[in-house]
Chain A
Amino acid sequence: MIWGVVQFPGSCDERDALAAAGLVGEARMLWHADDDLDGIDAVVVPGGFSYGDYLRAGALARFSHLMEALAAFAQQGGPVLGICNGFQVLCEAGLLPGALLTNEDIRFVCRQVEVVVESNRSPFTAGLEPGERLSIPVKHQEGRFFAPDDVLDELESRGQVALRYAADHNPNGSVRDIAGVTNGAGNVLGLMPHPEHAVDELTGSIDGLRLFKAAAGALT
């Protein structure tokens, strides 16, 4: 299985994502100005501050050349994982519902949190049991998930809420404790926690690795 990790100017976590994906397959860095995703089986849009988060987090990166190919890839059911800034980019690109607003307390927060698996429809949560808790760090200033109530009701009824923060672990004021959502088809997952920073006991936990393994398992 071949993973592609998108690198924008201002990405920060692309090397970490590349290393994490590399634990469960072959991983290649993709440059934002490239044209195609030939030969790529799954794409990670990593964390960071693409284009300095200027204008709005993710608002400029969505116009990158590679995003056209990524939209087509997602349309055809290709698995796409948007982490933190990647989640923001995918929301801006219309590939995921909702938006990510400034944290409730207006400060950046870096903290290990626990999230609960809500739905295993996405290839990245395939095989995980709803209700399972994962320990994964967050680090962001614009991670408060928001959508209008009717949209949220719909997301919940369709199983598009993939992950929620556990009680007392919501670090940013996300509505209904939502930590990660999928598109309607379930192949695109965006989440604020950083699974690529939870792949080694020495540096924290290995719960994030389960998302990468799940996708690898679902595809092979």
Chain B
Amino acid sequence: MRVETETRNEERGTRNRAHRALGLTDAEYERICELLGRDPNVVELAMFSLLWSEHCAYKHSRKLLARLPTEGERVVMGPGENAGAVDLGNGYAAAFKVESHNHPSAVEPFQGAATGVGGILRDVFALGARPIAVLDSLRFGELDSQRSRYLLDGAVRGIGAYGNSIGVPTVGGEIYFEAPYEHNCLVNAMCVGLARTEEMVRAAASGVGNLVVLMGASTGRDGIGGASVLASAELEEGEEKRPSVQIGDPFEESKLLECCLELLGQGLLVSLQDLGAAGITSSAGEMASGGGVGVDIDVSRVPLREADMEPFEIMVSESQERMLAVVEPASLERVLELCDKWQTGAAAIGEVTDSGRIRVLRGDELVGDVPVSALVDECPLYDLQPQEPDSWTYGNRATLSERADVPEALLALLASPNVASKRWAFEQYDSIVGSRTVRRPETADAAVLLVPEAGGAIAVAIDGNGRRVACDPYRGTVEAVLECAANLACVGAEPLGLTNCLNFGNPEKPGPAWQLDRAVSGLADACEELRVPVVGGNVSLYNEGPEGAIYPTPVVGMVGELPDPRRAAGTGFARAGDAIALAGPFAPSLAGSELAKLRGELDLGLPGVDLAVICAAIAGLREAVRSGVVASAHDVSDGGLACALAECAIAAGLGCHVDLDPLVEERGVAGETALFGEGPGGFVISGKRAKLEQLATGNLPVLTIGEVGGETIEIEAAEQSLAVPLGDAERAWQSLAERAEAAAV
């Protein structure tokens, strides 16, 4: 018997290697044959290859993700739906999710980024939520590389082209430039939507005999195999993969969005699902799996861009701007009428059955027939083989002389593209459409949006410093979560839920596997301590270039609520004469810092932190901001306290005089470390001196360190001191545009 199986395997291996080209292993192919009781035909093989890809099946990450806390009082929808959602009160919920579009963007940045935005918008309005904000987290190689400038320019224009023309504001984000992203840039997009809680729809199909209606754009050959080809293997010959990148049409999506929201508002849809990776196959499979039903799809009824498409192409096409709905037969006419009003396509292409199978028909001919459970639930899950690396493998490049003095170091840090103002990018995004934006990009640490429907406002932020995660995947990921919560605290917001995108290298290699394992533990522990549930997310693996993996980059997005948007503190100092204080148990270190990068001194290791102490300080700062006595608040992040102070000063057009000796003495750090050291738990706040001093509690240490005023940034720290004219600091900090436009492509 055993011999016979081996012979069969060998025959299959020679007869049919198609599965390997589609990214399935021989063992996975065997498993498919077992589940079907026969070899899959070409339609079925295409469907399995996509739904069993890393992108769709999370086969290397699902076991780890079980560690994440997902429950909380305010959770309305958790992982597994198109997006997560949290209760905002008054019958409203915020739906949100972050998703990657890394590999398409590395191949074709404009369309890759544009369709990344388009995809995350559909995830959110599939729930019946109107998108009200987009944020982006971008990573490129160093800005002095022409390829990085090309990718940056294309991605920023792509995000703008899609978001701007669909009327959803891009309110925040972050961009980092690091050599390990040179070949494999990261484009993560987050969308936040607002819905009436009781009108939100789930993706599960139900009601045997109900119709499956495909809405939106027609189906073409674009993006065939995107999920398996682009998202689930390392990038090698990028140019040849261009036909796998989808093309976006924001106008089509704008009509589709309005149409879907009107259909849902009139109660005409039983369920709704967006079409993303793996197209109809994935959407129909997830709908059927969620509802415990079967679905018949007749590919001859799918409106096509090209007449001669094969059934397998129709089933896996990733043409953009499409949605799949389940509709009761009696509602079909009204659904088609509304689609006609919005000039968006619609066709009934199948029906819900009780078979528990996805059956693919071409007219009367059955061309594919697989059990839903086999397709959606039976993909093998893999254990990682993690191994901790014993040295820093990402290299070092010194760009700042060891002899540079302290003022030179500050100017170099402010001009570093990671620290510098991102105005060049965010001015290309509409940040105000929708009339909700109270804090525009860079005016505060988190974007603040009015939600009068729910009686208040929300704050949103997105964070993740891959370099620090590379230094220590556990602590770096903890820091990313803390940083996001700290950003919300600066505007007085308490986190309600978290979404994340885990961007890592090849999980089949021991190093990236170890990073992923440690990072997920860090994410889980930080969320537990903050009591923030993870309500959704996305995993993007195989992010590697010829020189190895990217920095491990967990990107964390949070939505929080705040009672009074008028009290949301801005970054900039408010008035000359105000006192400046350092709040929080900030204990700076140069390990993994921006300065260590500029000096070429990066190495493994970050100092440990007491999570409970930092979380208590974040809560204390939030209450301080809510009390209204804090005139400005900015968390200490890239470039340390000196950069944070400079940013507060530049934003205000006011200088400052600061003495960091209290920090040096109380926390036992050197002057240079006090100036440029990084770490969680530090906030620069300003306000009336007496009031700031009254803020100090057991949870929130407050050190008064200086005063706002003048036209110079003056900072003393033990043996070190600097005095930099405000204009010089601002010129350095605003230097990104010139560098990004240098030899623009």
Chain A interface residues toward B at CB < 8 A: 9-13, 15-16, 19, 48-49, 51-54, 107-111, 137, 139, 141, 194, 196-197, 199-200, 202-204
A30 to B249, CA, bound (A): 25
Cβ B250 vs Cβ A16 within 8 A:
no
B399 adjacent to chain A (CB < 8 Å) = no
Inter-chain contacts of A49 with B (CB < 8 A): 164-167, 250-251, 254
A187 to B255, CA, bound (A): 32
Closest beta carbon of chain B to A53's beta carbon, Å = 7
The listed residue (A10, A137, A203, A204) touching B251 by CB distance below 8 A is: A10
Closest beta carbon of chain B to A44's beta carbon, Å = 14
Task: Please count the residue pairs between chain A and chain B whose beta carbons lie under 8 angstroms apart in the complex.
Answer: 91
Inter-chain contacts of A111 with B (CB < 8 A): 427
Cβ A110 vs Cβ B254 within 8 A:
no
A137 to B565, CA, bound (A): 20
A12 to B162, CA, bound (A): 12
A204 to B436, CA, bound (A): 10
Inter-chain contacts of B254 with A (CB < 8 A): 9-10, 12, 49, 52
Inter-chain contacts of B436 with A (CB < 8 A): 203
The listed residue (A13, A15, A108, A197) touching B429 by CB distance below 8 A is: A108
Binary contact track B402-438/A, C-beta < 8 Å → 1, others 0: 0000000000000000000000001111111111111
* 17 sample A-B contacts, Cβ–Cβ < 8 Å, listed by A number: A12-B433, A13-B167, A48-B165, A48-B167, A49-B254, A51-B251, A52-B254, A108-B157, A108-B160, A108-B428, A110-B426, A141-B164, A194-B432, A197-B435, A199-B435, A203-B432, A203-B437
Cβ A9 vs Cβ B343 within 8 A:
yes
A25 to B350, CA, bound (A): 48
Inter-chain contacts of A197 with B (CB < 8 A): 432-433, 435
Cβ B165 vs Cβ A10 within 8 A:
yes
User: Nearest 9 pairs between A and B by C-beta?
Assistant: A52-B251, A12-B167, A49-B165, A16-B435, A139-B430, A108-B428, A108-B160, A110-B430, A10-B251
B342 adjacent to chain A (CB < 8 Å) = yes
Inter-chain contacts of A139 with B (CB < 8 A): 164, 430, 432-433
B644 adjacent to chain A (CB < 8 Å) = no
Inter-chain contacts of B160 with A (CB < 8 A): 108
Cβ A9 vs Cβ B450 within 8 A:
no
Cβ A19 vs Cβ B435 within 8 A:
yes
Binary contact track B248-283/A, C-beta < 8 Å → 1, others 0: 011110110010000000000000000000000000
B566 adjacent to chain A (CB < 8 Å) = yes
Closest to B255 in A: A9
Cβ A52 vs Cβ B250 within 8 A:
yes
Cβ A203 vs Cβ B165 within 8 A:
no
Cβ B251 vs Cβ A54 within 8 A:
yes
The interface centre, meaning the residue of A10, A19, A51 with most chain B CB atoms within 10 A of its CB, is A10
Closest beta carbon of chain A to B689's beta carbon, Å = 28
A53-B165, A139-B164, A203-B450 known; A110-B431 Cβ under 8 A:
yes
Interface of B is mostly: mixed
Binary contact track B556-597/A, C-beta < 8 Å → 1, others 0: 000000000110000000000000000000000000000000
Cβ A204 vs Cβ B250 within 8 A:
no
Interface of A is mostly: mixed
A9 to B427, CA, bound (A): 25
A12-B165, A49-B165, A53-B165 known; A110-B251 Cβ under 8 A:
no
Inter-chain contacts of A13 with B (CB < 8 A): 167, 433
Cβ A110 vs Cβ B434 within 8 A:
no
Inter-chain contacts of B432 with A (CB < 8 A): 110, 137, 139, 194, 197, 203-204
Closest to A53 in B: B165
Inter-chain contacts of B255 with A (CB < 8 A): 9-10
A48 to B250, CA, bound (A): 12
Cβ A202 vs Cβ B566 within 8 A:
yes
Cβ B438 vs Cβ A109 within 8 A:
no
Cβ B164 vs Cβ A108 within 8 A:
yes
B140-175 CB contacts (< 8 Å) to partner A:
157, 160-161, 164-167
Closest to B258 in A: A9
A5 to B190, CA, bound (A): 30
Inter-chain contacts of B161 with A (CB < 8 A): 108
Cβ B167 vs Cβ A203 within 8 A:
no
Cβ A52 vs Cβ B249 within 8 A:
yes
Inter-chain contacts of B342 with A (CB < 8 A): 9
Inter-chain contacts of A19 with B (CB < 8 A): 435
**Other 17 A-B pairs with CB < 8 A, given A49-B166, A199-B435:** A12-B433, A49-B164, A49-B251, A52-B165, A52-B250, A52-B251, A53-B251, A54-B251, A108-B160, A108-B430, A110-B427, A139-B164, A139-B432, A196-B435, A202-B450, A203-B437, A204-B432
Closest beta carbon of chain A to B133's beta carbon, Å = 13
A10-B165, A10-B254, A108-B160 known; A203-B431 Cβ under 8 A:
no
The listed residue (B165, B166, B428, B433) touching A16 by CB distance below 8 A is: B433
Inter-chain contacts of B251 with A (CB < 8 A): 9-10, 49, 51-54
A139 to B433, CA, bound (A): 9
Cβ A203 vs Cβ B435 within 8 A:
yes
Inter-chain contacts of B437 with A (CB < 8 A): 203
A38 to B258, CA, bound (A): 26
A178 to B202, CA, bound (A): 50
Cβ A110 vs Cβ B429 within 8 A:
yes
Inter-chain contacts of B165 with A (CB < 8 A): 10, 12, 48-49, 52-53
A48-B167, A202-B565 known; A107-B433 Cβ under 8 A:
no
A9 to B436, CA, bound (A): 22
Closest to B160 in A: A108
B472-518 CB contacts (< 8 Å) to partner A:
none
Inter-chain contacts of A109 with B (CB < 8 A): 427-428
Inter-chain contacts of B440 with A (CB < 8 A): 204
Inter-chain contacts of A200 with B (CB < 8 A): 435
